Amino acid sequence: MNSTTMPPLEVDDFTVTLHTPTLSVRPVDGVSYSVQAGEVLAVVGESGSGKTILNMAPLDLLPVGVDAEMKGSVRFEGRDLLNMSTSELEAVRGGGIGVVFQDPLSALNPVRKIGRQLTEGIERHLGLTPTQAENRTAELLTLVGLPDPKSRMQQYPHELSGGQRQRVGIAMGISGEPRVLIADEPTTALDVTVQAQIVELLKDLQKRMGMAIVIITHDFGVVSGLADKVAVMYAGRLSELGSVRDVLIDPAHPYTRGLLQSVPSLTVPMDTKFLGLPGQPPNMAYRIEGCAFAPRCIEARADCHVNRPSLLSVPHSASDRLAACPVIVNQFA
Amino acid sequence: MFRIVLNRAISAAILIVIASVFSFMIIAAFPGNVAGLIAEMRGGFVSQEVVDAVAEEFRLNDPLALRYLHWLGDVLQGNLGVSLRTGENVSTAMAQRLEPTIVLVLGGSVVTLLMGVMMGFAGAMRPNGSIDQLIRVIAVFNVSLPKFFLAAMLIYIFGVQLQILPTFGFRGPLSWILPCIAVGAVPGALLSRLIRVALEEAMSRPYVITAKSKGFGRRHILFQDALPNIVPVFLTTFGMNIAFVTQSSLIIEPIFSWNGIGAYFVEAARFRDLPVLQSCLLMFSILFILVNLAVDLIVMLADPLQRRARGA
Ligand SMILES: Nc1ncnc2c1ncn2[C@@H]1O[C@H](COP(=O)(O)OP(=O)(O)OP(=O)(O)O)[C@@H](O)[C@H]1O
Ligand SMILES: [Mg+2]
């Protein structure tokens, strides 16, 4: 396989166990998917379902003090991130893989000028001189829709609005010209009109730069507006994976159905409370036998509580689509 | 911005006035018969007439407020009175003794700074690594050590055993080394702990994860991202340490036989030389207040967040 056909990101049977002094939890449990070049994958799921850990743990970007044990593989352009040395991983971070964070206020250093926070990464990854990096930064800021970049670069984060800060955050994420951009809820901290602008910006950048994007979101508006594929997570596991068309219009997994029913309209941002779903997600500190969603599922059979369902291909879908629910997949057939 | 500076300057001025009242009270509120005491110290035959003359000379019978204003007027004209013991003019004596104390305070501050920064960063590079552990032991050892004991150890090691550094008198830069270390070691150890803890706290902030996401390693993040964030804490503590260092001059100057203001103060206290005591107290208080003011203003100018928060 050569690098033009190899998917830039391949996640294979990836499992994360977090160890704290008192207990261990498994927020990511046997997850597999891949993202093609230029493809946008949205990862959705309730709060606490493991979306952030899934994407940040392989890059070693979890908060300090979180001890993550990882199994399986997460390959970036064929190389397993989990086996990389610290310096190899540092070369990938900000270079091949860019990251955009949820809260642009806390993600930016409050006492450093914006220009410097951008140029340092550009100098590091693109091998530019300080002057070239400054010019490149000015271009980037213009690209993400911040006019008058030279004076912006002299400002501190608190001197910008929330939307402007997130534009800076996005400029930072793409500054190393990454092939994969990981964006963890980039619009959640912003108000609704600004959210739409940021989605437009990401869409535009994705087209221009042709990079793959993995976007974590609670917002089905973002999913339908930006993504090609959706991965639905529940309790650390993938419950459904397929094209946006298939999953949003004709969801297969009972969890996805519940999730979509709880959204009044596809364009309205969804709250983290899922009104349409009775019950609570399981506690991931305990080993879950059978299907993690079974206790809340209206379709559940006795078997569901015992055997863990694997991802099965859903028949009659517009494109490849997988769902971890044998009951429904049999109904589709 | 200007208004904030003005506010801080005004409160410093108020503090200085309060300090002057306390210094003044040393004589005013001294227990027992002050006039008799002063007359005794001057020697000779102490008759009631002599005591009355002293009371007259020091205005001991005037109302307190009037005495304070008189004294303040003298101080503002640079007249700090006359030493009871030696008859020297206190202002002149203090001016002569200023140099060793300035050297000690500046040198001690440099030692504090070097020790604090080097040990603090070395520890933060690898938290709980062997260097960090060693530095922690040194710091605890240092802090729990009485200052005079540290000074005695330094004298013993470098002066008596190795015989490489002078331990007596204020005689050129070589003789400055041991006293400055003796004065700066404890605040240096404290500062290193503070820097270490503040860096650790800064390294747990989300912006550190962002810096990591740009591909930077611990060393770069420590200096580029964490350091600018601990500057205000660092400056504030460093300013406080200058105050500690100043205060240590009381103990360290006599040990190394330096004729500084600290030694002058101690001597005055021993002989109950009230005008000297009063003047030293006033000088130290003013120094304290001015250093604090300077640090506050520098912190404000150095911290972009404060600049905004205070409406600059
Ligand atoms: N710092 C931590 N210490 C211990 N456990 C944690 C920590 N962070 C996350 N977890 C565990 O991992 C699980 C998944 O967390 P994660 O942050 O990936 O959820 P998420 O899907 O991103 O949620 P959200 O939508 O709220 O961001 C949590 O339910 C929790 O049990
Ligand atoms: Mg999250």
End residue of a domain, out of B44, B60, B85: B85
Residue B289 domain-assigned? no
A223 and A283 assigned to the same domain: no
Q: Whose CA is nearest to atom 25 of ligand 1?
A: A47
Of all ligands present, the nearest one to the C-alpha of A184 is: 2
A266 and A125 assigned to the same domain: no
* pLDDT at res. A307: 92
A43 and A134 assigned to the same domain: yes
Check if A20 has its Cβ closer than 6 Å to any atom of ligand 1.
Answer: yes
CB contact under 8 A, B204 and A65: yes
B131 and B200 assigned to the same domain: yes
Q: Could you read off the pLDDT of B109-166 as tens digits, one per residue?
A: 999 999 999 999 999 988 888 888 888 888 888 777 777 788 888 888 888 888 888 8
B74 and B109 assigned to the same domain: no
Q: Provide, as residue numbers in chain A, all residues whose Cβ is less than 8 Å from the Cβ of B231.
A: 111
What's the rounded mean pLDDT across residues A283-295?
86
CA dist., res. A62 & res. A64, Å (int): 6
Interface predicted TM-score (ipTM) = 0.90
* pLDDT at res. A169: 96
Residue B284 domain-assigned? no
CB contact under 8 A, B213 and A61: yes
Residue B93 domain-assigned? no
Residue A206 domain-assigned? yes
Compute CA distances B182 → A62, A105, A147, B266, B306, whole Å.
44, 45, 57, 18, 35
Please name the helix (run of DSSP H) or strand (run of DSSP E) that holds residue B58, with its range, or none. Answer: none
A97 and A155 assigned to the same domain: yes
Tokens of A199: 């989605």
* pLDDT at res. B310: 43
A65 and A211 assigned to the same domain: yes
End residue of a domain, out of B24, B59, B85: B85
B115 and B212 assigned to the same domain: yes
CA A282 to chain B, closest CA, distance in angstroms equals 28
Q: Domain count of chain B?
A: 2
B116 and B183 assigned to the same domain: yes
Model confidence band, residue B5 (pLDDT cutoffs 50, 70, 90): confident
CA B192 to chain A, closest CA, distance in angstroms equals 22
B141 and B202 assigned to the same domain: yes
A164 and A312 assigned to the same domain: no
A264 and A123 assigned to the same domain: no
A213 and A267 assigned to the same domain: no
* pLDDT at res. B10: 93
Q: Smallest Cα–Cα separation from A29: which of A20, A18, A40?
A: A18
What's the CATH code of the domain at A192?
3.40.50.300
Task: List strand residue ranges (DSSP E) for A8-122, in order.
Answer: 9-19, 24-35, 40-44, 67-76, 79-80, 97-100
Count the neighbouring beta carbons within 10 Å of the beta carbon of residue B19: 18
Residue A225 has pLDDT above 70, yes or no: yes
Q: Please state, for a pLDDT cut of 70, what percent of chain A lies above it.
A: 95
Q: Quote the pTM value.
A: 0.83
B64 and B114 assigned to the same domain: no
CA A251 to chain B, closest CA, distance in angstroms equals 35
Residue B92 domain-assigned? no
CA dist., res. B6 & res. A154, Å (int): 28
Residue B299 domain-assigned? no
End residue of a domain, out of B85, B117, B143: B85
B104 and B251 assigned to the same domain: yes
* Higher local confidence (pLDDT), B287 or A37: A37
A221 and A104 assigned to the same domain: yes
Classify the phi-psi angles of B62: left when phi > 0, otherwise alpha if psi is within -120 to 50, otherwise beta: beta
What is the average pLDDT value for chain A, to the nearest integer? 90
Residue B215 domain-assigned? yes
Residue A235 domain-assigned? no
B175 and B215 assigned to the same domain: yes
Residue A3 domain-assigned? no
Q: Provide, as residue numbers in chain A, all residues whose Cβ is less than 8 Å from the Cβ of B213.
A: 59, 61, 93-94, 98-99, 101, 173
What's the rounded mean pLDDT across residues A229-247?
95
Residue A233 domain-assigned? no
A209 and A127 assigned to the same domain: yes
Q: Domain count of chain A?
A: 2
Long-range contacts of B296-299 (CB under 8 A, 24+ apart): B296/B8, B296/B236, B296/B239, B297/B5, B297/B8, B298/B235, B299/B231, B299/B232, B299/B235, B299/B236
Between B227-255 and B261-270, two packed helices, what is the crossing angle to 10 degrees? 50
Residue B281 domain-assigned? no
Q: Could you read off the pLDDT of A243-268 as tens digits, one per residue?
A: 999 999 999 999 999 888 876 555 45
Three-class secondary structure of residue A35 per DSSP: strand
A32 and A91 assigned to the same domain: yes
Q: Could you read off the pLDDT of B57-73 as tens digits, one per residue?
A: 877 888 888 888 988 99
* pLDDT at res. B27: 78
Q: How far is CA B36 from the centre of its chain?
A: 34
* pLDDT at res. A273: 45
Give the sheet arrangement for strand A9-19, strand by strand. Answer: A24-35, A9-19, A67-76, A79-80
What is the average pLDDT value for chain B, to the nearest integer? 86
Residue B195 domain-assigned? yes
A222 and A258 assigned to the same domain: no
What's the CATH code of the domain at B154?
1.10.3720.10
Determine the atom of ligand 1 nearest the C-alpha atom of A285.
31
Residue A307 lies in domain: 252-333
B123 and B147 assigned to the same domain: yes
* pLDDT at res. B160: 83
End residue of a domain, out of A191, A210, A227: A227
Determine the residue of A15, A46, A53 to mutate for testing ligand 1's pocket, defined as the one with the most ligand atoms within 8 A of the Cβ atom: A53
Residue A327 domain-assigned? yes
B192 and B229 assigned to the same domain: yes
Residue B13 lies in domain: 2-85
Model confidence band, residue B307 (pLDDT cutoffs 50, 70, 90): low
Alpha-carbon torsion (A45, A51, A52, A55), positive or negative: negative
CB contact under 8 A, B215 and A109: no
CB contact under 8 A, B216 and A124: yes
What chain B residue is nearest to A178 in terms of C-alpha separation? B214
Residue A192 has pLDDT above 90, yes or no: no
B132 and B219 assigned to the same domain: yes
B184 and B236 assigned to the same domain: yes
Residues 148-177 of A with CB under 8 A from B: 156, 158-159, 172-173, 175-176
* pLDDT at res. B311: 39
Residue A318 domain-assigned? yes
